[in-house]
A and B are shown apart, each in its own frame.
Chain A
């Protein structure tokens, strides 16, 4: 059966070039970078090269890169590590559409006595800057707002928020897990203090990620051990994963122009063709301030998990904000926050494109959707 993967915001296949770069670090170059001998020095050299490569790609200095196990850990380290610098009750500002890695870390901080303000977004999924400014308090220590949303792809005004945070002396963190490789990610242009990156969203291996920590920004570790990663992330480094991450970031930068144009063509064509041929479809998220690889559609009178299953039977892999398909059995908090009616949330479909997708894939998806949506509407009680 034909297989079409269009769920790249969930994860991506590892690029063969990335695999090639990683392989020697499992068998021949397996050393511990902390060791004195040649094996250790080889690992330390790879670690340093990876750090320099990534720093170059995002406009950072190599000492500003801390390797982690992925996006979730980077977000945790950024938030808990910043709060850990202050005595007493801290106040954190974030948005209602953040990834659970941020929202659940903030919920934990609330449980142990800290304060969190969740800033709303408008109907397009863009953060309310005025509400953010007016929520700043004496004890606000951190603002954390994602660069681009993982469900609806809305791109947030990061520079604007950074300027506000900087002028008030508040640390500013952004989760750039979805945006890297799709839109420009340069820490100087964005003006951020902390920035999270994950490897497996950009054709790198799972289990690797990093946190950019701007010089002069102090954070506390959240795990304790040896002195790895300047003591901020102790534990023997995942050298193969880090080499994979660095190679993936490098490839993403090299292919940026070609990839982003290709994705944009596919995205716009998918939206256009679906809206033109199927009734009762709604595009969720901003029409232009959105990731070039993200399409989020709602289909009236059909439910997302049923759509997902029918598409899966045709070999098409996508995702939904419907409650029934999630582990928690809760509908998407992001779609609820943009004011979408419940039936449209349950009927939502996220298509996240990747560099491997073609216009043929788009046409296959659109024709499959035409057939499936009409079939499910025949069955539907709505």
Chain B
């Protein structure tokens, strides 16, 4: 079953919400799959000063979403891009067998948001 860490993060997730005029937004998933994760970024001098999320999804989707925002917040774009799925899993003390297949979605959403920011900056 789920680790204590997962339950803690799931029941008291940090960084829930949206950011108005966000510098980057990344969304993954669909209602068909049962998971939609959206991550919002605020970037100041190349640092992720604010990272927030909104997630429709299961226990894994919500707990990985909040962990990804916590890992990314305060990091530079380059540092944040180096966050791995293992970092997410370690922060949650692992996930039960079969449940780890969805663990990468929140990280995908973060990377999408960063790409969106980089794209946006070019314009």
A interface residues with partner B (beta carbon < 8 Å): 301-306, 309-310, 313, 322-325, 327, 329, 331, 341-343, 346, 378-382
Contact = CB atoms under 8 A, between A and B. Distances in A.
A141 to B, nearest CB: 37
B104 to A, nearest CB: 15
Contacts of B102: 324
B31 A382 contact: yes
Contacts of B62: 306, 379
B59 A381 contact: no
B34 A323 contact: yes
A324 B33 CA distance: 9
Interface centre among A309, A341, A379 (most CB of B within 10 A): A379
15 contacts: A304-B58, A306-B62, A323-B33, A323-B34, A324-B34, A324-B99, A324-B102, A331-B34, A343-B34, A379-B55, A380-B54, A381-B27, A381-B54, A381-B56, A382-B36
Given A303-B58, A313-B11, A379-B13, A322 B34 contact: yes
A368 to B, nearest CB: 14
Interface centre among B36, B98, B99 (most CB of A within 10 A): B36
A382 B34 contact: no
Contacts of A302: 56
Report the contact-size class of chain B (Cβ under 8 Å from the partner): 20 to 34
Interface centre among B30, B34, B98 (most CB of A within 10 A): B34
- The DSSP consensus for interface residues of chain A is helix
Nearest to A344: B31
Interface in B13-65: 13, 16, 27, 30-38, 54-62
A175 to B, nearest CB: 28
Nearest to B57: A303
For the complex of A and B, list the 8 residue pairs with the smallest distance between their C-beta atoms, beginning with the closest.
Answer: A324-B58, A346-B34, A343-B31, A305-B58, A381-B54, A380-B56, A381-B36, A342-B32
Interface string B53-79: 011111111100000000000000000
Nearest to B38: A381
Interface centre among B7, B38, B58, B59 (most CB of A within 10 A): B58
B10 A342 contact: no
B112 to A, nearest CB: 13
A333 to B, nearest CB: 15
Given A346-B34, A381-B38, A382-B36, A322 B11 contact: no
A302 B62 CA distance: 11
Nearest to B66: A379
A382 B16 CA distance: 13
B34 A342 contact: yes
B39 to A, nearest CB: 10
Given A303-B56, A309-B7, A324-B60, 19 more contacts: A301-B56, A302-B56, A303-B34, A304-B58, A309-B2, A309-B10, A309-B59, A322-B34, A324-B57, A324-B102, A327-B98, A341-B31, A343-B31, A346-B34, A379-B13, A380-B55, A380-B56, A381-B37, A382-B31
